[in-house]
Copies of this chain bind each other. A is one copy, B any other.
Amino acid sequence: MIVRNLNDARMTDRLVKADGWDSTRLVLAEDGMGFSFHITRIAPGSSHVFHYKHHFESVYCVSGQGSIEDLATGQVHPIRPGVIYALDQHDKHRLSAETELVMACCFNPPVTGQEVHREDGSYAPVPEHA
């Protein structure tokens, strides 16, 4: 059994910071669970385009208010506590925060912790960092 704490993890390299968001990787590929689990914060007033071409991701809103735009269709969905979106089509999207968003994210395949967001908003497929 693995037990971890978000506040402790934020003081380690599990916390990855980017412009307008950060993400704390509480479960990673090395844990052998077959998925990774992250708590991600999106700064109020910020907007981000992500496109996980090589991963499935679900994102559950723990707190905050914002929206997600499906960039294939232009459809915008409000993000509120209790809303989840699942990128089952590797959907390119824009996530916008009105207030700080705190999101619980699951990735399959699991993130290793070594990924960086590429220019196109994706993470590389696993073999590129294996």
Contacts from A to B (Cβ < 8 Å): 1-7, 26-27, 31-35, 37, 39, 56, 58, 60, 62, 68, 70, 77, 80, 82-89, 91, 93, 104, 106, 108-109
Instruction: Kindly provide the distance from the CB of A11 to the nearest chain B CB, expressed in whole angstroms.
Output: 13
B35/A84 in contact, CB under 8 A: no
Closest 10 pairs between A and B when the two form their complex, measured CB to CB: A6-B82, A34-B108, A2-B86, A1-B91, A33-B56, A3-B77, A35-B35, A26-B84, A104-B104, A3-B85
A33/B84 in contact, CB under 8 A: no
Q: With A3-B83, A3-B84, A83-B4 as given contacts, are A26 and B89 in contact (CB-CB < 8 Å)?
A: no
